[in-house]
Structure 1
Amino acid sequence: MTTKGPTVRTVLGDIAPGRLGVCDSHDHLFIRSPTLPGQELDDPEAAAVELGAFAELGGQAVVQWTPWGMGRRLAELPELSRKSGVHVVGATGMHQAKHYDPAVLKGAYDGLARLFISELTTGPVRAGIIKIAGAYHRLDRHAEHVLAAAAEAHHATGAPIGVHLEAGSAALDVIGALSERHGVPPGSVILGHLHRFPDSRVHRQVAEAGAFVAFDGPSRAHHATDWRLLDAIAALAEAGHADRLLLGGDTVTASARSTADGPGMPFLLGGIRPRIERELGPDLATAVFVDNPARAFAVDWRS
């Protein structure tokens, strides 16, 4: 009996990892939250313009980390992907409790793992990643509940788990909970926002454990660690962990888009990639934008 091997599950279907290409490993085309009133990403035309600008700079894939219940508009992603020529990976999962109406949240707790599994394996548009979130320097009760459901869904499907780390904190707690308590291999885990917690020792420990280290969200107005980004990348590469690095834009507000006041999705390729190529070398840039995403998001899908 033969198997098709690892594939990346995009909104247009499964593709071979080698077809993913230059990838923004964490971003948002659509997102809505009560914590961001008036800044929702809910305009398909604006999303298409942003995706087109990314494609013009050589972008070939975007992983949208917007989970269930946050206006991800999963059904509209295939058309955006077709028109732009950019592969799009969608997400299931659940963010921090503050992003949901309490009544909706309470009703969703029962059968959460079944919801994740269903969205990964059924329907015309399937998710290709599970998005969860920690709390600041800890895993609160909500995070523990969602993490357990994500682990169950991973074991049922093989799907990778992407984790929002609040201010980049609690990385080792998350790895410990997923791998030691729930048996999720670290290689199936992507820890986001570690650039916001610029502790190179923690970064190395995460990489040594086998998880992927995501530096995502460059040049937001309220981030004070952008100037450390290349040093953080260089430190991991010099420690032998270039194969664990991912980069993403994490655009979460309308004003952060390149068509508004922010650097947006294209900045990864127009601003960050040239600096990596010039200062750290083209091989490292290829690893971060092409080779590593192809491994991080490829799965031997179980269903």
Structure 2
Amino acid sequence: MSRVRTVLGDIAPERLGVCDAHDHLFLRSRQLPGRELDDVDAARAELEAFRAAGGAAVVQWTPHGMGRRAADLAALSRATGVHLVCATGLHQAPHMAPEPVARLRGRLAEVFVAELTEGIGTTGVRAGLIKVAGGFHALDAHARWTMTAAAEAHHATGAPIAVHLELGTGALDVLDLLCGELGVPGERVILGHLNRSPDPVVHRQAAASGCWLAFDGPSRAHHPTDWRMPAAVRSLAEAGHGDRLLLGGDTVTAGARSVDGGPGMPYLLRRLRPRLAAELGQDLVDRMLTEHPSRAFAVDWK
């Protein structure tokens, strides 16, 4: 029976509710010095603001080695009433110190499987997805290593694989590797950041694999393609792929939180939802926020 693996345990998919399918409560990156998401009180306030806007669940894509603070997630979920899904996985090499990454050589898939099935460290929190990353229009050796380990962990557990596409590029290379060479079913792959490269031809080609298409981070001042998101989503829906769409906020710095003066998680529901509803109709947008994530993150756990 399919279940979504939250930080408080597995739940029936229909209990997930209105879901931010890609975001971050905590995150540390060498690429973002001094801008860390590392404040428990701010994370709680952000979840409360999201809940007040009608949100019920958040999928945190922060992977291994980037300050997930898994030990704090269960208490935050209990305190706010928001379901939280935590990630295992590994991001691009520049985001992390090289020494911890080197220590994972030869056992990366084993670490992913353990965090999915046994828990993250001694926290008792089990991850509910695997997060990996591609490069700009290419897959380097690090990406191939992490995706190979992710595929192995998927085959062992059934867990979905969520992929950071660098500036929205490289979707077809990712699918060729994961779904072609490594045998991961398309419906178990979630492609993130497609709004950053709104190429309708590539989007339709990717959708043909059966993968999930995530449009996330819709409020980034440095992403001038964001205004094209509604048209890109509408194009996919009109091409028959409206049942594969996900929405997320992707808050990655402290200043982007709503409680710190940024758009934050509530923006997804407060501003993006009505804008997309005007383009696509309320019914599809509601399904993108509820039914779709409940299917994308539900697993017949092995």
Q: Same fold (TM over 0.5)?
A: yes
Q: What is the RMSD computed on CA atoms of the aligned residues? A: 0.8
Map of 1:115 onto structure 2: 111
Matched-pair identity in %: 63
Q: Name the SS for the 2:29 alignment partner.
A: coil
Is the Cα contact below 8 Å between 2:161 and 2:189 reproduced in 1? Answer: yes
Q: Name the SS for the 1:55 alignment partner.
A: helix
Structure 1 unaligned residues grouped into runs of 5+: none
Is the Cα contact below 8 Å between 2:234 and 2:279 reproduced in 1? Answer: no
What letter corresponds to residue 205 of structure 2 in structure 1?
A: Q
Deviations 1:196-220 (A, max 9, x none): 0110111111111100000110111
Deviations 1:178-236 (A, max 9, x none): 01111000100000001101101111111111000001101112110111011011111
Matched, 1:94 2:90: yes
**Aligned pairs for 1:216-295 within 5 A:** 216-295=216-295
Question: Alignment length, in residue pairs?
Answer: 298
Structure 2 unaligned residues grouped into runs of 5+: none
Offset of residue 253 of structure 1: 0.3
TM-score of the aligned structures, taking structure 2 as reference length: 0.97
Q: Name the SS for the 2:59 alignment partner.
A: strand
Offset of residue 33 of structure 1: 0.8
Q: Name the SS for the 1:131 alignment partner.
A: strand
Map of 1:52 onto structure 2: 48
Is the Cα contact below 8 Å between 1:214 and 1:247 reproduced in 2? Answer: yes
Map of 1:73 onto structure 2: 69
Offset of residue 261 of structure 1: 3.4
Map of 1:11 onto structure 2: 7
**Aligned pairs for 1:28-177 within 5 A:** 28-123=24-119, 124-177=124-177
Distance in 2, matches of 1:280 and 1:153, equals 36
Distance in 2, matches of 1:176 and 1:162, equals 15
TM-score of the aligned structures, taking structure 1 as reference length: 0.97
Q: Name the SS for the 2:240 alignment partner.
A: coil
Offset of residue 102 of structure 1: 1.1
What letter corresponds to residue 182 of structure 1 in structure 2?
A: L
Map of 2:20 onto structure 1: 24
Offset of residue 132 of structure 1: 0.1
Is the Cα contact below 8 Å between 2:165 and 2:171 reproduced in 1? Answer: yes
Deviations 1:19-50 (A, max 9, x none): 00100000000000111111000000000000
